[in-house]
């Protein structure tokens, strides 16, 4: 690690080279984990831009906090008390979402101690993803089999929006799209109500004129 730091030569710019490099690598590892999970398993809650920002900044913040409190017991106890009042108010869309957040935090903490352990975990995580994908252990494997769904078993979402939208959500099919009187009209179909609710949640409320669910 020291050889890499000397090669980059960030010290000449007044930058804490080791801190910068390890923090950068921890965020990079989490971003790679984010994209690997997103493209291999099409988790719908990962499709938002905010999830990418979380993958970048959550490990960086964890690394920074760990670096500050690692050599100060009094500050460590104070930080624990301060962080204990932090709460996530956003409803969790998937149990795996909490696992991902914990992975980001763990990588940030681990990187401040031994960046090699974080890299080893990344290789382990991606290997497991590829194995699961290879053996088709994917709950979204019926993503494109909408032809097997009858209208009687489907739920429809009708929306009027002020802007044009492209929907790429697992288990959701756009069956109709039109434009009239300055409004974009959409009809989406799914056999999963939660997936349709996710569509509505991911749209800025100011862009929604109206929406209804029909079975």
130-171 per-position pLDDT tens digit? 888 777 655 444 433 333 444 456 788 888 888 888 777 777
Q: Are residues 26 and 91 in the same domain?
A: yes
The rounded distance, in Å, linking the Cα atoms of 107 and 101 is 10
Q: Are residues 110 and 194 in the same domain?
A: no
pLDDT digits (tens, 9 = 90+) for 60-109: 888 888 887 777 777 666 666 666 656 656 566 667 888 888 899 889 88
Confidence at residue 30, expressed as pLDDT on a 0 to 100 scale: 92
The rounded distance, in Å, linking the Cα atoms of 72 and 7 is 31
Over residues 11-21, the mean pLDDT reads: 62
Of 134, 160, 191, which residue sits at a domain end? 134
Instruction: Report if residue 172 sits inside a domain.
Output: yes
Q: How far apart are the first and last CA of the chain?
A: 59
Residue 142 gets which letter from DSSP? T
Q: Are residues 177 and 197 in the same domain?
A: yes
Q: Are residues 8 and 93 in the same domain?
A: yes
pLDDT digits (tens, 9 = 90+) for 39-65: 777 666 677 788 889 899 988 888 888
Of 134, 156, 188, which residue sits at a domain end? 134
Residue 48 gets which letter from DSSP? S
161 contacts 183 by C-beta, under 8 angstroms: yes
Residues near 177 by Cβ (< 8 Å), separated by ≥ 6?
A: 184, 185, 186, 187
Instruction: Report if residue 139 sits inside a domain.
Output: no
Instruction: Report if residue 140 sits inside a domain.
Output: no
Report the number of distinct structural domains present in the chain.
Answer: 2
Instruction: Report if residue 127 sits inside a domain.
Output: yes
- Look up the domain containing 97 and give its range: 2-134
Cα maximum dimension of the chain: 68
pLDDT band at 206 (very low <50, low <70, confident <90, very high): confident
Of 85, 110, 134, which residue sits at a domain end? 134
Q: Are residues 174 and 122 in the same domain?
A: no
């Amino acid at each position: 690690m020291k050889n890499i730091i000397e090669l980059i030569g960030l010290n000449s710019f007044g930058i804490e080279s080791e801190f910068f490099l390890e923090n950068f690598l921890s965020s990079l590892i989490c971003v790679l984990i984010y994209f690997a999970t997103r493209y291999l398993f099409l988790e719908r809650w990962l499709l938002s831009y905010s999830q990418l920002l979380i993958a970048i900044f959550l490990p960086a913040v964890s690394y920074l906090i760990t670096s500050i409190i690692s050599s100060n017991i009094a500050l460590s106890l104070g930080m624990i008390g301060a962080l204990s009042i932090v709460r996530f108010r956003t409803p969790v869309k998937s149990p795996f979402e909490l696992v991902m957040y914990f992975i980001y935090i763990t990588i940030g903490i681990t990187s401040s101690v031994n960046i090699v352990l974080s890299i080893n975990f990344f290789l382990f995580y991606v290997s497991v993803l590829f194995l699961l994908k290879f053996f088709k252990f994917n709950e979204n494997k019926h993503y494109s089999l909408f032809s097997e769904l009858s209208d009687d078993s489907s739920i429809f979402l009708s929306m009027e929006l002020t802007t044009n939208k492209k929907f790429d959500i697992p288990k959701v099919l756009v069956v109709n799209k039109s434009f009239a009187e300055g409004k974009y009209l959409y009809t989406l179909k799914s056999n999963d109500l939660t997936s349709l609710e996710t569509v509505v949640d991911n749209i800025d409320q100011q862009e929604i004129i109206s929406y209804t669910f029909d079975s």
